[in-house]
Amino acid sequence: MQSSSDETDQWRYSAAIASLQTGESRIVDEIGHSIFDPRGARCSCGRRGCLEAIASLDIIRRAISRSTHRPLSRLTVPVIARMLDEGNRSARAVARNAARAVGLVVANLVDVVNPSHVVISGETARLGPFFQQALDEAPTEFVIPIFREKLRLAPTRWGDDVALLGAAVGVFQTVLDL
């Protein structure tokens, strides 16, 4: 996940697989634009039902604001994490739905490339144990059983700069031809 500097403070989902993978346009995987629900909300890319349009931090914040009648401006990551920890049912329902969407898209990626680890980064990685647990449950339901056995989902230990670190590794791999 990486941040966008636009006014919505929306967080996006991306992926790199062991080494930096790019396509013809030299863009790293945009799993945030994987279609989760073809009839879903309109995404910033213009399509409907992208993961970003369903499970980005901005969408999570807006849904919690609507369901709890709390001002959007006060729903920071620490506040949402506390609401989840304290068992707020509305916040938990929103977070569970978002985590399930992320989990399904990640599961589809896992079924294609079979990684041993999936690292979650960005603001949603700091939503706390409840969000992480909801995310952890998705592979149990969606990933091919033989791949599920060794798969580990974990929040990054490298902070919000993990996307930059991954890009730097990609540059080194290209320059040094590793």
pLDDT of residue 139: 77
Look at the chain and report how many structural domains it folds into: 1
List the one residue out of 94, 95, 108, 98 whose CA is nearest residue 141. Answer: 108
Cα R_g (the chain), whole angstroms: 16
Other beta carbons within 10 angstroms of residue 76's beta carbon come to: 11
The CA distance from 155 to 104, in Å, is 17
pLDDT of residue 7: 37
Q: Looking at residue 117, which CATH number applies to its domain? A: 3.30.420.40
Top mean pLDDT of 57-71, 128-142, 143-157 is at: 57-71
Range of the structural domain that residue 48 is part of: 2-176
Q: Is the pLDDT of residue 2 over 50?
A: no
The pLDDT mean for the chain works out to 80
Q: How confident is the model at residue 18 (pLDDT cuts 50, 70, 90)?
A: low
Q: How confident is the model at residue 168 (pLDDT cuts 50, 70, 90)?
A: confident
The CA distance from 124 to 54, in Å, is 13
- Residues 91 and 77 sit within 8 Å (Cβ to Cβ): no
- Note the pLDDT tens digit of each residue in 32-46: 888 889 999 999 899
More confident site: 140 or 7: 140
More confident site: 63 or 115: 63
The CA distance from 54 to 33, in Å, is 10
pLDDT > 90: what percent of the chain? 36
pLDDT of residue 4: 40
Q: Is the pLDDT of residue 130 over 90?
A: yes
Pull the structure tokens for residue 76.
């920071």
Q: Is the pLDDT of residue 138 over 60?
A: yes
The CA distance from 120 to 101, in Å, is 14
The CA distance from 161 to 79, in Å, is 22
